[in-house]
Amino acid sequence: AYLKNKMLPLSDEEKDENGTKVVRVVQPDLKFVSTHPADPSSYFELDETDQIDKSSAVVVAGESGSGKSVFACQRSLDSGFVPVYCLVRSDHMESKPPDTRQFVALNAFLQFLIDEVTKHTSDDLSDVRNGLYQLKFRLNQSRNKWATEVLKTLLEELTSANDYAEGWFAEGVWDNNSKPEKVAIVVDEATDIDLAEGLIATVRETMKEYEYLAQKAVLLVIVGVGLDAIRDKDAGYSGRVGTNLEYSELVVMKHPDLEKIRNDPNNRIPEEVFEALGKGLFSRVLMTNARMLFRSVLPNLASSTHRRDGIDEPVKKRTRYEERLVKMASYGPYMDHGARSYVTANSV
C-alpha cells in the first residue's frame, strides 16, 4: 500500500481512433530514475556469512520527490529483504539533546587527522586511525545514544499497534523458522544530520541488537533529503558518509532518465510529448523531479485528448498538436497540477 501511494500512475489506458486500447504512459519504474552509483545493487547483497562487525548502513539521499523512499523499499524487496518501514516525525526530534553539536570543531579536526593518516597505507598507522575513530565515537556518545533511542521508539510504535508484529519483535517468542530470512529496517525522513550520523556510527551495534529478527541478515537503510551533504567531500561521491566512512554506503537519487523511457519497448508515449517536455516553460523544470514527472506532467501531456482536432490534413494536424503540447507545458495553471501532486505526496 505504501509503494502504491508513492508511485503513480501505473498506466493510462485509452482507446485510439480505431477503438484499440493503448497504454499512453509507460509504467513508472525505478529503472527510469538515474542514481549514483549507476548500479548500487551490491549494497543490498547480504547473507548469513556477512559479519556484523563489518556491516554498514545504506544511505539513500536525493531531493524530495526523487524516488528515495520507493528505491529503499523496492531495492530491499528485490534483494530478498522484508522491509520494516519507519517514518521519522517532528515529535521524534523533540528528545534531541542540546549537546549533540558540542564538539563540531573538534570533530572536524579529528576527521582531518583521520584523512591524513589514511593517506598513508602502512599497517603501522592502522591502529592510530582506529584510535582516532574511537575518540571521535566517544565525543559523540550523547548523539549516538539519542539516535539509537529514536530508532527503538520507531520500532516500538510499529509493533505496539500490531499483535502479530509485537510477537515477532519480542526476542525469544518466535522460533527461527518463523522469521523472515532477511530484514531491512528502513528509516525514512532521517533528514537531521545528527540523527543520520548517529545511526551510522552505531550501525554495527544496532545490527547486533536486532539480528534476532531474521534468520540470516539484518540491514539498516537510512533515507533522507540532503544526506549526501555528509559524504566524504574530498572524494566526491565516494560512496561513504557519516562519522566513520567505513560504516555506510551512499546512493544518491538523481533524476528521471527520459532516454530510457523513450527507448523502453513498452513505451507508447508520442514523440511529440518528449519534445514538448524540453520546450515547455514549466515542464522542463518539473520533469527533473521523478514524482512530478510520473504523477502529473507526463500523464497529462501524454493524454490523447490533446490529439483531438477538427482538421484532417495530417501535416497541419501534427503541427497544431506539437504547438498545443508546448503551450500546455508552458501554461502555469495546467502545470501547477504537478507541484500540487508533489506536495500532496510529500511526507516531510
Is residue 12 domain-resident? no
Domain containing 241: what range?
37-255
Residues 62 and 90 in one domain: yes
Is residue 181 domain-resident? yes
Residue 252: pLDDT band with limits 50, 70, 90: very high
Sheet holding 57-61, edge to edge: 33-36, 248-256, 57-61, 217-223, 182-188, 82-87
Residue 51: pLDDT band with limits 50, 70, 90: low
Residues 240 and 306 in one domain: no
Point out the domain boundary residue: 231, 255, 279.
Answer: 255
Mean pLDDT confidence for 223-240: 64
Is the CB of residue 117 less than 8 Å from the CB of residue 128?
Answer: yes
Q: Which residue has the higher pLDDT, 169 or 62?
A: 62
DSSP 8-state symbol, 58: E
- Structurally, the chain folds into a number of domains equal to 2
Residues 148 and 85 in one domain: yes
Beta strands 33-36 and 248-256 are: antiparallel
Residues 179 and 220 in one domain: yes
- pTM (global) more than 0.75: yes
Point out the domain boundary residue: 255, 277, 307.
Answer: 255
Point out the domain boundary residue: 230, 255, 280.
Answer: 255
110-147 per-position pLDDT tens digit: 777 777 777 776 666 677 877 877 777 777 788 889 99
61-110 per-position pLDDT tens digit: 999 889 898 899 989 999 999 999 999 998 998 888 776 666 666 777 77
- Prior bond of 9 cis (ω within 30°): yes
What pLDDT sits at residue 135? 78
Residues 208 and 119 in one domain: yes
Range with the largest mean pLDDT of 7-11, 175-179, 320-324: 320-324
What pLDDT sits at residue 48? 57
